[in-house]
Amino acid sequence: MRDKKIDWDKINKAVAQSYVNLDPNTIPFNLFKEIDKIPNFAISSYQDISSILNIDIDTFKDRFHTSSNDAFIRKYHDTSTGKDLYTLFYNDNPSYLTIGRIRFSIAHELGHFYLNHLKDQQTQLDRGGIDKTTYKELEIEANHFASLFLINPIFITDKDDYKRIEKRFDVSSQAARIAFNRFKGFPFIKQYWKRRLKYDSPIKFIPRKNYIEYSPTYGYNTLFESFELSELPFIVCRHCKSLNYTMSSDVKFCPVCSSNKIEIKPKTAKFHETEEQEVFEYKKIPVEGKPSHIKDECPTCGNEVKYEDDFCDVCGLYLINRCAGHSKNEFSYDRTSGDPTYLTIETGFDPTVLDVNSAQFKNNDDFIGCEYPCSGKARYCAKCGSVTTFYLQSLFESWDTEKINSKGVTDEDLPF
């Protein structure tokens, strides 16, 4: 049987209507923020509902009569109010699905909503409720809606290739390629959408942060350990707005500002869409291994360094970031530079001049702290709150000074 011709007018109208209804002001969309604008519409993850019902994901899908590993949508009629209610369910597992794919799946289900595919309670958008031909047609329409909704040609420029589209629009590689080919294959499509797409306020690009799909290069000694760490959650600080990996469940302090106003957050698409975009990226020095050792070159003099070296051959910088075993308040500080100078008498130690650029510092029992792995931007130990050896060497500005002086990060920055 010959495939039904795609109804582009219907799809384009639905996309245009979604922009009118939602009136977004940033690209890429915060999908949870946009969905929150839709009356009588809710969104929940497979994981949240499974946890509430105390069942596994497969049982959850069986109960909702779906085979989808990505997302699905259901319509319910509230007899008490006479209103139709909609719930979008999605698989929020970035270790199984990429962030780009999860975002596309959510937009795909929104397509079913805006394309009026859910006509009655009996219509199920899985293969159990409608015939295969109709199912295929609805899926194709929803896919095209999602593509035009997330990557509308009006926002693509002549500088964009599919790699740049993938990053700028926070979508999968496949979705970016389709959008790029559409843009190049139909020269007048941008002008068409300029006439078609109406929105009340300007829409601006905000570069996306995406730390979920990266793994730390520090805190492990073997490749196997690195795979284990890729599943670890984040430390989110409510005080300085920093984001850090956590290597254990008993961390108590922010590695950037030492505040105890922290939350442990799992890696989820919802976190990525919402809280992750609000974090501030502080200066970081590339490190690797356990303990965390500076990679490639010395940040002070630029000399090439090797992992087996403890100190820079040129300037003497101590190349390992670790817990130093003392709180910030136990040190005296230079009045001009603000650099830590020595341990105070009140700590019970001799007021010896602090010299971290020596083997004596490395082997000094007074500066041996806990063994919690410290990242390349850790000023403090997340487990005990002590300062780190990078902090003692004044490799960072204070976090508040850095935040004030920052001009913002670019979309080319990488995490950790």
Structural contact between residues 286 and 296, judged by C-beta atoms closer than 8 angstroms = yes
Mean pLDDT over residues 245-250, rounded? Answer: 84
Q: For 280-319, how does the pLDDT look when each residue is reduced to its tens digit (9 = 90+)?
A: 999 999 999 988 999 999 999 999 999 999 899 998 888 9
Strand partners of residue 229? none
Q: At residue 358, does pLDDT exceed 90?
A: no
Write down how long the chain is: 416
pLDDT value of residue 411? 42
Domain assignments of the chain as residue spans, ordered by start? 8-205, 223-408
Report residue 217 as tokens. Answer: 């290069």
Give residue 316's pLDDT: 87
Q: What is the pLDDT of residues 362-395, one digit of tens each?
A: 555 566 788 899 999 999 999 999 999 999 888 9
For 132-141, the CB contacts below 8 A with 24+ separation are 133/1, 133/4, 136/3, 137/4, 138/112, 140/6, 141/6, 141/7, 141/10, 141/11, 141/111, 141/115, 141/117
Give how far the C-alpha of residue 187 lies from the chain's centroid of Cα atoms, to the nearest Å: 34
144-174 tens-digit pLDDT:
999 999 999 999 999 999 999 999 999 999 9
The residue ranking higher by pLDDT, 331 or 257, is 257
- Whether residue 338 has pLDDT greater than 90: no
**Residue 412: pLDDT band with limits 50, 70, 90:** very low
Percentage above 70 pLDDT, the chain:
85
Taking all residues of the chain, what is their mean pLDDT, rounded to a whole number? 86
CA dihedral sign of residues 8, 13, 14, 19: positive
- 3-state DSSP call for residue 411? coil
Q: What is the pLDDT of residues 47-95, one digit of tens each?
A: 999 999 999 999 999 999 999 999 999 999 899 999 999 999 999 999 8
- DSSP assignments along 319-348, one per residue: -EE-B-S--GGGEEE-TTT--EEEE-GGGT
- Grouping H, G, I as helix, E, B as strand and the rest as coil, residue 45 is strand
